[in-house]
Amino acid sequence: MNDTDIEHLKTSISVAWRARENGNHPFGAVLVDEQNRVILQAENSVVTGRDSTGHAETNLVRLATRQFSPEQLARCTLYASTEPCAMCAGAIHWSQIGRVVYALSEVDLYEIIGDSPEHLLLPCREVFAHTKRQVEVLGPVPALEMEARAVHKDFWTA
């Protein structure tokens, strides 16, 4: 983890704030190329798109696979405000994105949300452990925990 990773994670949290402001769940994702340039951003669109698969990461993967080759994506990093869920981890795997960095863990998210039958606790590392393709994963990031949690404050209870 380096300063560049931290800055891109902060951008993903800003995208999560934008998703919340747009009436969606507060999740954001950013795709960065091998020169550390942001090439795509995507926010959650579950509510406004009326699509349960409209997570920030899957929205980003849909955009990315239309614009970039698998070889290019293998050299990219996906930054996420919160750990990618099992569905998003699958999409990341199939897109061939080579690296994932997230700020807030799935466990911490579920602590914020509270108990729900909708939870599917399956860490992204566990999903990626079942592939023969290497996906580097970094996260959670304690230095950004307060920022990553703040975007969820009072959202799930309102």
Which residues have CB under 8 Å from 145's CB, separation 6+?
Answer: 103, 104, 108
For the annotated catalytic residues, the residue numbers are: 57
Q: What distances in angstroms separate CA 132 from CA 93, 127, 129, 135, 152, one per listed residue?
A: 10, 11, 8, 9, 34
Q: How many residues does the chain have?
A: 158
> Using an 8 Å Cβ cutoff, are 19 and 28 in contact?
yes
> Using an 8 Å Cβ cutoff, are 99 and 78 in contact?
yes
Separation of alpha carbons 4 and 126, rounded Å: 26
